[in-house]
Amino acid sequence: MNVRLLHQELLGEIIQNANQATQHTYLDNYLGNSHLRYAISMPKLRSVGKNWYRTKDVTAKEYFQLITSLIKGKSATEKMMGGLLLDFSPKFLNEINPKIFDQWLNHLVGWAEVDTVCYGHFKVEQFTDNWPAWKNLLPRLNKNKNINKRRASLVLLCKPLTQTTDERLRNLAFKLIDGLKHEKEVLISKAISWILRSMVKLHRKDLTAYIQKNKTSLPPFAVRETWTKLKTGRKNG
């Protein structure tokens, strides 16, 4: 299939189901970028993408080429659709090379785009069975000058940490946090709080010890939110 035509066809579906596109709105600061956006809710965007994808028969190669094309698109809506597509054909995720996220992240700006592409698409086995590749990728993202890649280094681990007691993931998470905890940007400090809270259920003992040892160097609100979740099960007690 012609991936460019698939991209244009899917974009047409988005436009048909959205209101007028906007740019440079009050949402810019909230979402972290000024990319063109189509006025469509996330549940509707997911529905449009899922229904469209069900009518297609693509190979794994075409699937990842389409996601890449969308992520390189002009609008934030296309970029987020690229992330949503990762949920529509989980069988192809077994074939993914994690280093493709380094490429994708060159075209993503702000928490909404980064998190939609990087959070929660993999079964934990797909993560742990390919651990050497993820272990290689995440520290490189963590040290990158691109703040969106630094955020992604944490976000990519958040879901797996809620699904396994594997100490390799936990130990790497602490190492990645240590590499970023000095940063003041909300894009990073919010991600630190998120990854800490992701360890509450299955890594409680080690998380508690880490918080106690590092409470003065971690973002204060991240410490508060993590302590609250440890005590109440919720971010805000």
Closest CA to 70 of 62, 204, 160: 62
Confidence of residue 145 (pLDDT cuts 50, 70, 90): very high
Whole-prediction pTM value?
0.94
Is 80 exceeded by the pLDDT of residue 66?
A: yes
In this structure, the answer to whether residues 86 and 128 fall within a common structural domain is: no
pLDDT tens for residues 76-122? 999 999 999 999 988 899 999 999 999 999 999 999 999 999 999 99
Amino acid at 230: L
pLDDT tens for residues 173-226? 999 999 999 999 999 999 999 999 999 999 999 999 999 999 999 999 999 999
Is 80 exceeded by the pLDDT of residue 10?
A: yes
Is position 73 within any domain?
yes
Is position 103 within any domain?
no
In this structure, the answer to whether residues 160 and 220 fall within a common structural domain is: yes
Is position 104 within any domain?
no
Residue 28 is part of which domain span?
1-95
Position 188 scores a pLDDT of 98
Closest CA to 17 of 36, 54, 35, 42: 42
The pLDDT > 70 percentage for the chain reads 95
Is 90 exceeded by the pLDDT of residue 60?
A: yes
Closest CA to 226 of 182, 186, 183, 192: 192
Is position 14 within any domain?
yes
Does 1 or 232 have the greater pLDDT score? Answer: 232
In this structure, the answer to whether residues 137 and 65 fall within a common structural domain is: no
Q: In whole angstroms, what is the distance from residue 108 CA to residue 72 CA?
A: 8
Is position 134 within any domain?
yes
Position 233 scores a pLDDT of 83
The pLDDT > 90 percentage for the chain reads 86
Domain count, the chain: 2
Confidence of residue 235 (pLDDT cuts 50, 70, 90): confident
For every residue of the chain, DSSP letters joined together read --HHHHHHHHHHHHHHTSEEEE-S-THHHHHT---BEEE--HHHHHHHHHHHHTT----HHHHHHHHHHHHTSSBHHHHHHHHHHHHH-GGGGGG--TTHHHHHGGG--SHHHHHHHHSS-S-HHHHHTTHHHHHHHHHHHHT-S-HHHHHHHHHHHHHHHTT---HHHHHHHHHHHHHHTT---HHHHHHHHHHHHHTTTTSHHHHHHHHHHHTTTS-HHHHHHHHHHHHHSSS--
- At which of 45, 73, 95 does a domain end? 95
Look up residue 226 and give its two tokens: 């993590």
- At which of 72, 95, 118 does a domain end? 95
In this structure, the answer to whether residues 226 and 135 fall within a common structural domain is: yes
pLDDT tens for residues 14-28? 999 987 666 555 455
pLDDT tens for residues 44-57? 999 999 999 999 99
Is position 200 within any domain?
yes
Position 133 scores a pLDDT of 97
Confidence of residue 234 (pLDDT cuts 50, 70, 90): confident
Position 146 scores a pLDDT of 98
Average pLDDT on 53-64 reads 94
In this structure, the answer to whether residues 120 and 221 fall within a common structural domain is: yes
Is position 76 within any domain?
yes
- At which of 54, 71, 95 does a domain end? 95
Is position 146 within any domain?
yes
In this structure, the answer to whether residues 181 and 212 fall within a common structural domain is: yes
Q: In whole angstroms, what is the distance from residue 113 CA to residue 121 CA?
A: 14
CATH number for the domain spanning 136: value is: 1.25.10.90
Position 142 scores a pLDDT of 98
In this structure, the answer to whether residues 213 and 131 fall within a common structural domain is: yes
CB atoms near residue 21 (< 10 Å): 15
Bridge partner list, 29: none
